[in-house]
Chain A
Amino acid sequence: MRLRTRIITLASAVALILILSTAYYWPVQDEYHPLNEEWNGCSKVVNASRNSTLLFSYGEALAEHTLFAIVGPGLGFSQKEAAYVRIFLESGGTVLLADDIGKGNSLLESLAVPARFSGQLIDDLLYYSKRPDFPLITDFSASPLTDNVTAVLMNRPSFLQVENSSVVAVIASSSLFSFVVENGGGQPGANEMLQSYPVMASVRIGKGLLVLVSDPSVFTNEMIDFYDNMRLFRNILRIGGGSIAFDVGHIARASLTDLRTQFRTEIDSIRSSLLFSTWGVYTQSLIVAAIVLALFLHVRRNANIRTPGKKGQAFYAHSSSAAPG
């Protein structure tokens, strides 16, 4: 291999390693992503369960006693996906659907649930922490979902539009000082009404239970530690059976996130295999031995080559033209 080719290959390899390292170590930052450990991720709620699964697509049937968590969907639901959720619910499963922008409405429509996420954000003038963008929910109806839950902190929630209260049971509402945000929030407009809005509800579908929460931020890493947010989630998790299947497929995420997640999983798998398995140790020994042998051969070969050879080589290559005339 010529020197120039070697340099280009080496530089390409270094660039590739840099890019792959970045792909591996760059943290997942997508909002509500279960692998996102920053403030807006959902890693804490996923880790709250002893048995958690990440669901990238709806295919395999979910295990019994599993809470199917759909938190912050940024993509709509197809009929096929809705059918999958319906089957899970009818067989007795529990589904948590936490949404504030209204993408979950396609699922509610397919499941014929008479409630919708409004998609409109609400603030509260009195019942809030720090500022009206963070309403404090204190009005709960008696339900196993709200056992020992006295206050839940939300972050710019939307509200639920319940069309049939005999089917959909409202289990939490904002205070009567809340209002729909129209012009940047903070304070109500001149014609805005202050009133209470439903923010949590539950619906029985078959043997299962669908829990609606109008703010997915309740379950993010930062918010989950405030007030009774974690208690609320544990109640839902307990009713769901203790295991959690987290829907990643409907989170609005960056185009490389899934690829990087898969890449990271594979690398972690390989690394753990190499480090901890017997054949891994043997393989590492063989690689080290091969590197040492290659280095030895390379050094020995170089010992026989002395400079300058370039001029002589050029002459030898063109010796036929050295003759005069």
Chain B
Amino acid sequence: MIILAIVSLILPGFYLGIPIMAGLAHRPAPGKLRYSDAQQSGTQAGAILARLSETMDTTDLGLLRSRLKGVVHLAGIGEDPVKEYVWVMSEFLGNMTQIETKLNQTHAFLASGDRRQAKEDLDQLERLRDEAKPLLSSLPGLLSEVEDYYKVDASAQRQKVLELQSVFSEYSVEIGKLESELQVQQGLIYTMLTLSSSMQLVFVEESLSVHGALEMQNGTALAGRNITLSWDWNMTLMRTTDFSGKFEADLSFPVGAEAGSNAIQAKFEPQGSDGSVYLGCRATLEVQVAYWPSVIKAEVKPATSRPLDPVEVSGILLGPGGIPLNGKVIEVNFDNSSLGNAVTDATGHFLLGFQVPTSASNGTHSLTVAFVPALDRYSGSNLTLTLTVELPGTRTEMLLDRTRVFSGTVLTLNGTVRLANGTAWRYGRVHVYLDDSLLTNAVVMEDGAFLLAVQVPPNASFGFHTVRVQYSPDEAWVGGSEVVAQVYVYNTLVLVIAVAGVAAASSSGAYAIVRSRRAAKLPPPELFGPPPIMRPPTREEYSTESLTAAIQAEHDDAAKVRRSYRLAQSLLEQGTGEVPRGSETHWEYFSRIASKSPQLADRLRRLVELYELAEYSQFPIGADHSREAMEIVLRLRERV
């Protein structure tokens, strides 16, 4: 009863009260993510470059710079080419913004004749220009890295970089003019240099003829002066002007030169005594540099295959005019992962065989065949082919030993894993979930079968639950599968509590009914009038016959002994006035009677002994004992 009471009150407190209260005490948070749980995500280079190109107004570098401020706070600048590109761009724009400001200041100082301050500013401008130049020159390379790393098209951004190069060139020219202006203010003769070329578009390693002239501000030619021609960052050439101040040179852009707009600069720097007479000057010529084009043609056989199947990629690489290109390296990529390289033969043909990667998923994949030149006069070319991969699918079948279970008991699952064509498949594991909670997992046996005994969680609630068996193959190139079944769960704990509660309630109800019936048998108390006079039993009521009959009426000997003892107590109460007390034991009762009536002690002791045996021991009470007890009662009657 004690355990029942504790179980029926405390356990519901645990299993119902606390969870309910916990629900009331806790409001689940809405969709905010926890920062420490968040995983790094990849950079979406294409969208970033596109947005950058949209918003890059190269006519307002200050605004552009302000839009990119704070880029230094981005994590992983050194590891992510996109972030590095944006950071370098931001740094370059910072320098350009300062150059813009300083140019205006220097103009103002020159206009006011403050040559000392103008000289200081010009020095700063040259420093800023020298810092900005390598930043600008690194942008195209970074864009190439971005394109290679993320396989995105950065042509729009390249165009913006060209615009920035143009702005930078303008600022460089402006700085040069300011230098000249400062020198003119210092009393030197102004000179002019012109520069032109035979063509505007030149291929690498193709000869380009440039020519120009040097003259004074009044148009007088300057003969015998050295002109330095520089191009492609580090290529230089020196020519001397003829009698008419003219000069010419043949030059070419080497392999490795940046494709696109390139500047050729001619510079006259007065030397010796000319330094105190003439003012230096520069001229810049923009030409478009291009690499010789190449074309790649290729095919893949077979176009549809399964993992580990052999596949061949073959094709031809052609140069301008359809000439085959010999000894060129062709890279083949499968979904951006390199499969290997092939080299073209004398006829320009190439062939690469490979096995379809086991990591390939089901569906269409891209196969990129690319000629990526390294220090080559030919430009790269590529071609994207498609290869369809078909993964063998699997089918999982399962049988449950029963569909209704008690929580905490064991449920047996028996099943098999087969390929789509019905062949048993063994490589992998099966995971068993009950309502998305993982219960167990096991390795699939050789014949594709699995046998699992899972324990239904003891706290599984009443109702239908989903048993899901998920097959995860060891080989990534085999498709997984799963099978789902429903089981009805009876929560054992709740059932036990309910049964215990019902039992407790039934017991309490039965007890209450018995008590109420007993109470109904008692005569109703009289509410008014004098208290009833308790009439002592008459001697006739304790006659030998009535006592014998009362004792013999009991159903067994032990009951007869107990009845004898109680009749003896009643007799003694009437005879001696000693009322039995509820708080005393039978021996305490004996002691009290024996002290008052010693003559009854011997008989009463034996009766008490018999009573003790009948009431409190397992001792078998026989007819002799009951008869002895009855005789003692009859003797006591006589004495009393």
Residues of A within 8 A of B (CB): 4, 7-8, 11-12, 14-15, 18-19, 22-23, 26, 28-31, 39-40, 101, 125-127, 129-134, 136, 138-139, 150-151, 153, 155-156, 175-177, 186-188, 194, 196, 217, 222-223, 226-227, 252-257, 260, 305-306, 308-309, 311-313, 315-317, 319, 322-325
Contact = CB atoms under 8 A, between A and B. Distances in A.
Interface in B579-625: 580-586, 589, 615-616
A85 B165 CA distance: 55
Nearest to A253: B27
Given A15-B9, A196-B67, A324-B542, 8 more contacts: A4-B5, A19-B21, A26-B25, A222-B35, A312-B580, A313-B582, A323-B541, A325-B541
Given A31-B32, A316-B581, A131 B18 contact: no
B40 interface: yes
Contacts of B217: none
A324 B549 contact: yes
Which of A196, A312, A317 has most chain B Cβ within 10 Å? Answer: A312
Contacts of B67: 139, 175-176, 196
Q: Which of A26, A28, A125 has the most CB of B within 10 A?
A: A125
Given A130-B40, A188-B47, A324 B32 contact: no
Nearest to B574: A323
B192 to A, nearest CB: 44
Given A7-B1, A136-B70, A30 B10 contact: no
A7 B6 contact: yes
B10 A136 contact: no
B561 interface: no
Nearest to A227: B73
A30 B27 contact: yes
Contact of B73 (A134, A138, A177, A186): A138
A14 B10 contact: yes
B71 to A, nearest CB: 8
**Secondary structure at chain B's binding surface: helix, strand, loop or mixed?**
helix
11 contacts: A7-B1, A15-B9, A126-B83, A126-B86, A130-B38, A131-B40, A176-B67, A254-B25, A257-B27, A308-B616, A312-B589
A255 B541 CA distance: 73
Interface string B31-48: 111111011110110011
Contacts of B111: none
A187 B581 CA distance: 91
Given A139-B69, A312-B584, A131 B570 contact: no
B74 interface: yes
Contacts of A254: 23-27
B35 A155 contact: yes
A317 B44 CA distance: 92
Contacts of B83: 126
B51 interface: yes
Interface of B: 1-2, 5-6, 8-10, 12-14, 17-18, 21-27, 29-36, 38-41, 43-44, 47-48, 51, 54-55, 66-67, 69-71, 73-75, 82-83, 86, 537, 541-542, 546-547, 549-550, 566-567, 569-570, 573, 580-586, 589, 615-616
Contacts of B550: 324-325
A5 to B, nearest CB: 10
Contact of A131 (B10, B30, B41, B55): B41
A125 B29 contact: no
- Give the 4 A-B residue pairs with the shortest CB-CB distance, closest first: A138-B70, A324-B550, A11-B9, A15-B13
Nearest to B616: A308
Which secondary structure characterizes the binding site on chain A?
loop
Contact of B29 (A31, A132, A138, A223): A31
Contacts of A325: 541, 546, 550
A29 B39 contact: no
A227 B10 CA distance: 49
Contacts of B6: 7, 11, 14
A315 B566 CA distance: 8
Contact of A136 (B5, B38, B51, B73): B73
Given A131-B38, A133-B38, A19 B18 contact: yes
A4 B1 contact: yes
B35 A176 contact: no
Nearest to B547: A324
Contacts of B583: 305, 309, 312-313
B51 A19 contact: no
A119 to B, nearest CB: 12
Nearest to A21: B18
Which among B17, B22, B73, B585 has the highest number of chain A CB atoms within 10 Å? B73
A257 B41 CA distance: 37
A29 B26 contact: yes
Nearest to B13: A15
Contacts of B24: 254-256
A39 B36 contact: yes
Contacts of A4: 1, 5
A126 B48 contact: yes
Contacts of B21: 19, 22-23, 26, 256
A3 to B, nearest CB: 8
B5 A8 contact: yes
A126 B85 CA distance: 12
A28 B583 CA distance: 56
Contact of A226 (B35, B41, B43, B582): B35
A101 B30 CA distance: 11
B520 to A, nearest CB: 15
Nearest to B7: A11
Contacts of B567: 322, 324
A306 B18 contact: no
A126 B31 CA distance: 22
Contacts of A139: 66-67, 69-70
A252 B55 contact: no
Contacts of A30: 26-27
Contact of A186 (B9, B29, B41, B66): B41
A177 B32 contact: no
A312 B36 contact: no
B94 to A, nearest CB: 14
A24 B475 CA distance: 52
Given A29-B27, A31-B32, A322-B567, A311 B615 contact: yes
B25 A23 contact: yes
B32 A40 contact: yes
Contacts of A136: 70, 73-74
Nearest to A215: B32
Contact of A256 (B25, B73, B581): B25
A274 B585 CA distance: 48
Nearest to A188: B47
Nearest to B2: A7
